[in-house]
A and B are shown apart, each in its own frame.
Chain A
Amino acid sequence: MDEPRWVGARVSRIDAADKVTGRLKFMSDLSFPGMLWGAVLRSAHPHALIKKIDTSKAEAIDGVVAVLTHKDVPGLNGFGIVVPDQPVLCFDKVRYMGDAVALVAATSKEKASEALRAIEVEYEPLPVVDDPEEAMLESSPKVHADGNIHHHIKVERGDVDAAFREAAVVVENTYYTPRQMHAFMETESGVATMDEDGNITVWCGSQHPFRDQLQIARALGMNPRKIQVVSTPTGGAFGGKDEITVQIYLALLALRTGRPVKIVLSREESAVAGMKRHPMKIRMKTAAAADGTLLANEVRVVADTGAYASLGGPVVNLAIEHSCGAYRMPNVKLEGFCVYTNNGLAGAFRGFGANQVIFALETQIDMIAERLGMDRLEFRRKNALRQGDVAALGHTMTASVGAVATLDAASKCEIWVRREELKARPSAPHKKRGVGIATELHGCGLGVGLPDYGAATIELLPDGRFAVGVSCPEIGQGNTTAFAQMAADSLGCSVEDIVMVSGDSRYTLDSGTSTASRSVYTGGNAIRCAAARMREAIADVAAEALGAPREEIAFGRGSVEARSCPAGEPTRSAGRLSFREIACIAESKGRRLKTEGDFIWPVADRGVEGYFGLPHLIYSYITQVALVEVNTLTGEVEVLRAVSIPDPGKAINPVGIEAQSEGGVVMGMGYALMEDTVIEQGITKTPNFSTYIIPTSVDAPEIETIIVEELEPSGPFGAKGIGEAVCVPITPAITNAIHDATGIWITHIPATAERVYMALRKQAGEPAGA
């Protein structure tokens, strides 16, 4: 094949013009004739038994078309990616404030809210379970009948106790991480319609239309073929739309009323009912030898998964997998608990368990380096995994490994090289500057033991363009642009000749989720496969039409030609056929050229017995560096500059990587410094953006992205994935920079001004309240 022309180029997003002009319609922008407004009655208590539900007054309201309760769920009254333990509509009890108790459809939004208020539910409140560690006790009230420990994982390798005895340095600390909110711009929203034949279409932002289709079908007791799910474009997801959000409610209401129904969650409802990042308490004990070799890591994670399982178990598994980061760690004892409480809901969130443990680990790493008097970067480089190494969970790192390469690049970046000089010049005498560094690896794909596959379709359109279908939705990350670039180079045409079809269960094949840093790798490989088949199909048509042997057909840009003409014969223009001409010729014979491609993920050479989804074979790598300034009088921390050095394998679109990198830095910075969904006694205290604080553009530092490409042979054009890693090490890079500036260690994030100030005072030896 020719040199790639589109892959690796700074291509502007194929959806850019529609997005910036506002032409693009998100699902929540859709309207249909006769459309009703749906609304969800949420629980009035964080934990209570339901004694009685009376909907008669609501039904009597003029303009109210349907009121549904658990009795109206025709199929399985439950959903959940791993175990369907979350009721579609609660019947016996409620377990968090976001629990759905009833649905209404009405002719206006106002009527729908009025109907919600008219529904009478009698509850018997139960004690609220809000502390995960207490929840683990036998004596705790139960959120679910079979106990509050939803999932427990334990992995041991080597002998940590012996290592701790022999080690020169052992550090042990407890870390606390907050309940971060995805804060996507489009809340969980969508529309469902039903046709005369009873087929339902659900238009709703999400991350896996085919799994949504399955979960909707299961709840409706309907054949999945009668349900179409469309989830591109999604106005941001970050994992928060991996699980079912409002799809089943929409489908139930459309089924009942036969009319289009729309639900748009308010920001407050989204904040209360929606997914969050698991708060974790992490105990970590890490040891190193005097020469700086890491010897052992003992980790205990307790994760608050809230009321239902969703992906809590897999998140904890990945926390365990990532808890030794990008380092060789010969002895490990790792244990994780995923615990039910009445604190909202936690599940998938960009980073998927790594953010929490990497914050803990990378702090431990800095502490050990300091104790050993070693340079922080050198210490990391010394212990970083190389290709061929055995990783902490015992699998062999056979895929591309960019840990050292990203650290090497970090050692040359300006804020690292000039760190002493930058630190010496704070903007005021009471301010202190510091530079911090952190690194991680990040598993791509679903890991050992879970079906992980991709599929793509390519169709030659009559005008000579290609329709390329991949189901992984466009959730804002830019995967459709990357797909179009890879398709263009695989087919030998221009990106403008690619029409992407994405996130639609009717018009694409199941290619899995847009999660787990997997969609570019998966979709790209499936596209490569489908494109090779398309080229064969085109060559067949061309050979026949040109009367040339099949092997003689060569591909140019947008055309094919018979390579050698018989000697003496002048080159005929007829010896060349454009893709459009190919389409015409095929059409005239009553054919449409359409191919399918598939792909199955390779996996690590060994799993962890008894558990699924870990470890991974392919990882992306990233090192991030931050320059911060701490106001020692108020505890305020300003991130002045950040350098982000990802190894995504081949950067299919460098602009896309930069955008991911910059967004990731700001998201990880919010996690480090300000974000936390506060829930007290089961009640969310920060339900909107005036109380839940995220960084604004003014808070964002100057961000430089340096892409390091460690090509992955199994990836399309050498690509891996990068969507998650970009938001992970920046958090400990910032907290380590605070240490570098002031000497205090941050073990509890977010590092708010109060926390930093109090730690400074404690360091100075002043008692609190002085």
Chain B
Amino acid sequence: MSPRKLGYVVPETLREASEFLREHAEHARVIAGGTDVLVQLRRRPERGGADGLRWLVDISRIPGLAGVSSASGTIRIGALTTHEEIARNPIIRKGAPLLAEACASVGSPQIRARGTIGGNIMNASPAADTIPALVALSARVRLSDLGGTRDILITDIFEGPYRNSAQPGEVLVGVYFDALPPTCRSAFVKLGRREALAIARLSCAVVIERDGAGRVVRAAIAPGACLPMPAQVSSAEEILAGKVPDEATVDAAAREVAEEMVRRTGVRWSTDYKKPALEAIARRAIWRALGVNVE
């Protein structure tokens, strides 16, 4: 580990934070829970470490960035809300159970108590657990800068692995999405190398809304840790749409998720395993979003 001297600033307002971040551009970085940033600082620059960094901008004192609220069917989660709070929050457990599941699967109690949803999004790891859930919820993120705020679709914040599209000076203030109605069910399924402290090797988030007759009105399927960019797999969603899903339909949709992954990534050495494994967890997630627990 190479030591480095870093300045640490603790702005009290969003304006102060943005001013500082603009001024120092690539030499400054926001720190929220620090569970990604601090790990990156330990790494040598040539192995993805934060090269050229001189300032950490601690946003934890800025008021109004933490907590979950809901108003007229829209749920807002402040950027500083921790995984632990989200996993336990009644509004989320009711209105976006898959996100509660995703947050509950992050790391360990210690990591969940420090890591924030804002950090999870902005770090833009392909394996980030909240991202597929937020994609399946069609969430929007709000960025704040000196000139005000702008809202963009969650999928538009990503530019590639570990790269987000925010401009220097922009701070993520929160994410927004519509609470799922009672006609919706959802699921988040993750495949790791062990039961806890496991980075997702694959994951899949699914939201399904059905009508009184059991027909799928709307399906959202977002796999994680396997696509070049976080996204829904509309071709798989279409297989479910309008049907009362039976085994064959679910199998077909799950297979399509896996095939779409291969189309988007090409065949790699790991494809032999990842394709059937993704199919298996997509199938599990879809069934769970249909109310059938196939474990």
Which of B191, B194, B272, B295 is close to A699, meaning CB atoms less than 8 Å apart? B194
Contact B197 A636 (CB under 8 A): no
Q: Given that A636-B191, A757-B276 are contacting pairs, would A114 and B3 also be in contact in the complex, using a CB cutoff of 8 Å?
A: yes
Q: A699 — which chain B residues lie within 8 A by C-beta?
A: 194-196
CA distance A758 to B39 in the complex (A): 34
Closest to B284 in A: A633
- Minimal beta-carbon separation of A641 from chain B (angstroms): 15
Q: Given A428-B294, A428-B295, A696-B196, are A634 and B191 also a contact pair (CB < 8 Å)?
A: yes
Can you name 27 A-B pairs with beta carbons within 8 Å? Answer: A109-B3, A113-B1, A113-B2, A113-B3, A117-B2, A268-B1, A427-B295, A429-B294, A430-B294, A431-B295, A633-B276, A633-B277, A633-B279, A634-B276, A634-B281, A693-B193, A693-B198, A696-B197, A697-B196, A699-B196, A752-B193, A753-B191, A753-B193, A753-B273, A757-B273, A757-B276, A768-B272
**A698 at interface by CB-CB < 8 Å:** yes
Contact mask B252-281 → A, CB, 8 Å, 1/0?
000000000000000000111100110111
Number of contacting residues on B, CB 8 A? 25
**What chain B residues lie within 8 Å of A113 (beta carbons)?**
1-3
What 7 pairs across the A-B complex have the smallest Cβ distances? Answer: A633-B280, A428-B295, A110-B3, A698-B196, A698-B195, A754-B273, A696-B196
- CB contacts (< 8 Å) of B59 on chain A: these are none
Bound together, the chains give a CA A693 to CA B193 distance in angstroms of 7
A266 to B1, CA, bound (A): 8
Q: A113-B3, A693-B193, A693-B194 are in contact. Are A634 and B199 (CB under 8 A)?
A: no
A769 to B294, CA, bound (A): 26
- Distance (whole angstroms) from the CB of B36 to the closest CB of chain A: 12
Give Cα distance in the complex from A109 to B283, angstroms: 51
Binding site for A on B (CB under 8 A): 1-3, 39, 108, 191, 193-199, 270-273, 276-277, 279-281, 283, 294-295
Query: In whole Å, how far is B290's beta carbon from the nearest beta carbon of chain A?
Result: 15
> Which of B3, B199, B270 makes the CB contact (< 8 A) with A690?
B199
**A109 cross-chain contacts in B, Cβ below 8 A:** 3
Chain A 413-439 per-residue mask, 1 if CB under 8 angstroms from chain B, else 0: 000000000000001111100000000
Closest to B280 in A: A633
Q: Output the nearest chain A residue to B107 by Cβ-Cβ distance.
A: A690
Which chain B positions have C-beta within 8 A of A754?
Answer: 270, 273
* B109 CB, min distance to chain A CBs, angstroms: 11
Q: Which residues of A contact B1 (CB under 8 A)?
A: 113, 266, 268
Contacts of B273 in A (CB 8 A): 635, 753-754, 757-758
CB of A674 closer than 8 Å to a CB of B: yes
CA distance A697 to B194 in the complex (A): 10
Q: Report A-chain residues with C-beta under 8 Å of the C-beta of B39.
A: 690
Residues B191 and A674 in contact, CB atoms below 8 Å apart: no
Q: What's the minimum C-beta distance from A697 to chain B, rounded to whole angstroms?
A: 8
Apart from A428-B294, A633-B276, 4 more pairs, CB < 8 Å: A633-B283, A690-B39, A696-B108, A696-B194
In the bound complex, residues from chain B placing their C-beta under 8 Å from that of A696 are: 108, 194-197
Q: In whole angstroms, what is the CA distance A709 to B270 when docked?
A: 49
Task: Compute how far the CA of A674 lies from the CA of B198 in the bound complex, rounded to whole angstroms.
Answer: 12
A695 at the interface (CB under 8 A from B): yes
B295's nearest neighbour on chain A, judged by CB, is: A428
Contacts of B281 in A (CB 8 A): 634
Per DSSP, chain B at the interface is loop
Q: Could you say which residues of chain B place their CB within 8 Å of the CB of A757?
A: 273, 276-277
Contact with B along A669-712 (1 / 0, CB 8 A): 00000100000000000000010010111110000000000000
Q: CB-CB < 8 A to A268: which residues of B? A: 1
Within 8 A of B (CB), among A72-114: 109-110, 113-114
Q: Closest residue to A769 on the B side, CB-wise?
A: B272
Q: Return B172 CB to nearest CB of chain A, in Å.
A: 24
Across the interface, do B277 and A753 meet the contact criterion of CB distance under 8 Å? Answer: yes
CA distance A107 to B197 in the complex (A): 36
CB 8 Å contact bits of A736-770 with B (1 = contact, 0 = none): 00000000000000001110011001000000110
CA distance A110 to B39 in the complex (A): 17
| Residues of chain A with a CB closer than 8 A to B2's CB | 113, 117
Binary flags per residue of A441-466, CB closer than 8 Å to B gives 1, else 0:
00000000000000000000000000
Which residue of A is nearest B3, CB measured?
Answer: A110
- Bitwise interface map of A from 616 to 636 toward B, beta carbon under 8 Å scored 1, else 0: 000000000000000101111
Q: Mark A208-240, 1 if CB is under 8 A from B, else 0.
A: 000000000000000000000000000000000
Least distance between B285 CB and chain A CB atoms (Å): 13
Measured CA separation A114–B191 after assembly (Å) = 41
Which residues on the A side are within 8 Å of B199 (C-beta)?
Answer: 690
Q: How far is the CB of B8 from chain A (nearest CB, A)?
A: 16
**A634:B194 contact, CB within 8 angstroms:** no
A769–B108 alpha-carbon span in the complex (Å): 35
- In the complex, the chain B residue whose C-beta lies closest to that of A266 is B1
Contacts of A695 in B (CB 8 A): 194
In whole Å, how far is B222's beta carbon from the nearest beta carbon of chain A?
Answer: 19
Q: How far is the CA of A633 from the CA of B295 in the complex (A)?
A: 11
The smallest beta-carbon distance between A38 and chain B, in angstroms, is 15
Whole-angstrom distance between the Cβ of A181 and the nearest chain B Cβ: 15
| Chain B residues with CB under 8 A of A636 | 191
Q: Smallest Cβ distance from B18 to chain A, in angstroms? A: 31
When C-beta atoms are compared, the residue in chain B nearest to A696 turns out to be B196
**Which residues on A sit within 8 Å (CB–CB) of B294?**
428-430
Residue of B nearest to A766 (CB): B276
Specify the chain A residue showing the minimal Cβ separation from B194.
A699
Please give, as numbers and ranges, the residues of chain B lying within 8 Å of A635 by CB-CB distance: 273, 277
Most chain B beta-carbon neighbours within 10 Å: one of A266, A633, A690: A633
**Neighbouring B residues of A698 by C-beta, 8 Å:** 194-196
Once bound together, how far apart are the Cα atoms of A429 and B195, in whole Å? 21
Bound together, the chains give a CA A274 to CA B228 distance in angstroms of 37
Contacts of A114 in B (CB 8 A): 3
Q: Report which of A427, A634, A697, A758 forms a contact with B280, defined as CB distance below 8 A.
A: A634
Closest to A108 in B: B3
Least Cβ distance of A283 to chain B in Å?
27
CB distance from B268 to the nearest CB of A (A): 11
Complex Cα distance, B279 from A761, in Å, reads 15
In the complex the two chains form, what is the Cα distance from A689 to B216 in whole Å? 43
Q: How far is the CA of A768 from the CA of B272 in the complex (A)?
A: 7
> Distance in Å from the Cβ of A107 to the closest Cβ of chain B?
13
Tell me, in angstroms, the Cα distance from A110 to B1 when the chains sit together: 10
* Of B1, B39, B270, B279, most A-chain CB atoms within 10 Å: B1
Whole-angstrom distance between the Cβ of A769 and the nearest chain B Cβ: 6
**Complex: how many Å from CA A200 to CA B189?**
57
Residues of B within 8 A of A631 (CB): 280
- Give B207 Cβ to nearest chain A Cβ, in Å: 22
Which partner residue on chain B sits nearest A756 by CB separation?
B273
A687 to chain B, nearest CB (A): 10
Minimum distance in angstroms from B1 CB to a CB of chain A: 6
In the complex, chain A residues 502-556 whose Cβ is within 8 Å of any chain B Cβ:
none
Closest-by-CB residue of B relative to A116 is B2
Q: Which residues of B contact A427 (CB under 8 A)?
A: 295
The residue on A at minimum CB distance from B5 is A110
In angstroms, how far is the closest chain B Cβ from the Cβ of A180?
A: 15
In Å, the complex CA distance between A259 and B281 comes to 59
Q: Which residue of A lies closest to B199 (CB)?
A: A690
C-alpha gap A268/B42 in the complex (Å): 10
| Closest A residue to B293 using CB positions | A428
CA–CA, A769 to B2, complex, Å? 43
B272 close to A758 (CB less than 8 A): yes
- Whole-angstrom distance between the alpha carbons of A757 and B270 in the complex? 12
* Residues on the A chain within 8 Å of B276, using CB: 633-634, 757, 761
Known contacts A268-B1, A757-B276, A768-B272; A674/B295 CB under 8 A: no
Residue of A nearest to B202 (CB): A634
Q: For B194, what are the chain A residues with a Cβ–Cβ distance below 8 Å?
A: 674, 693, 695-696, 698-699
A674 to B193, Cβ gap below 8 A? yes
**Central interface residue in A109, A430, A674, A752, by most chain B CB within 10 Å:** A430
* A752 and chain B: residue at smallest CB distance: B193
Q: List residues of chain B with CB within 8 A of the CB of A431.
A: 295
Complex CA gap A430/B195 in Å reads 19
